[in-house]
Amino acid sequence: MIAKVFHEPLGDSKDDVLHIRLEFKETHRLVKFSLNYTTIIKEGEKEARKAVVRYDSIHGFAHMHRFYRSPPTSEQINEPVSLSTVQKLTLEVRQNWKSWKKAFFENHGRF
């Protein structure tokens, strides 16, 4: 198994990051992926990195975890485990991370 890991900042600060992990078989076929949008939550001098949204295929199919909801939800999405799916979901994160972050703070507070 060959793993590739990428970290993409979202926005101007380093608080919001998209973490991408791709796992390939020796044949270069994508077998697993995860996309994690995380943000830094600050309260006074304390800070912690928290997951806001996660897409993954850990169980052999694509699904989405919405940690910004209260309570958090998880659902299967009708997409194959493929690089085109990873590209599509990456674009979705880039387009929606600000609204997801806002919902996270509204539902879970600052810490």
pLDDT computed for residue 77 by the predictor: 93
111 pLDDT tier (thresholds 50, 70, 90): low
Peptide bond into 80 cis (omega under 30): no
pLDDT tens-digit readout, 58-93: 888 899 999 999 999 999 999 999 999 999 999 999
What's the whole-model pTM score? 0.90
Q: Pairing between strand 17-24 and 2-9?
A: antiparallel
pLDDT computed for residue 92 by the predictor: 97
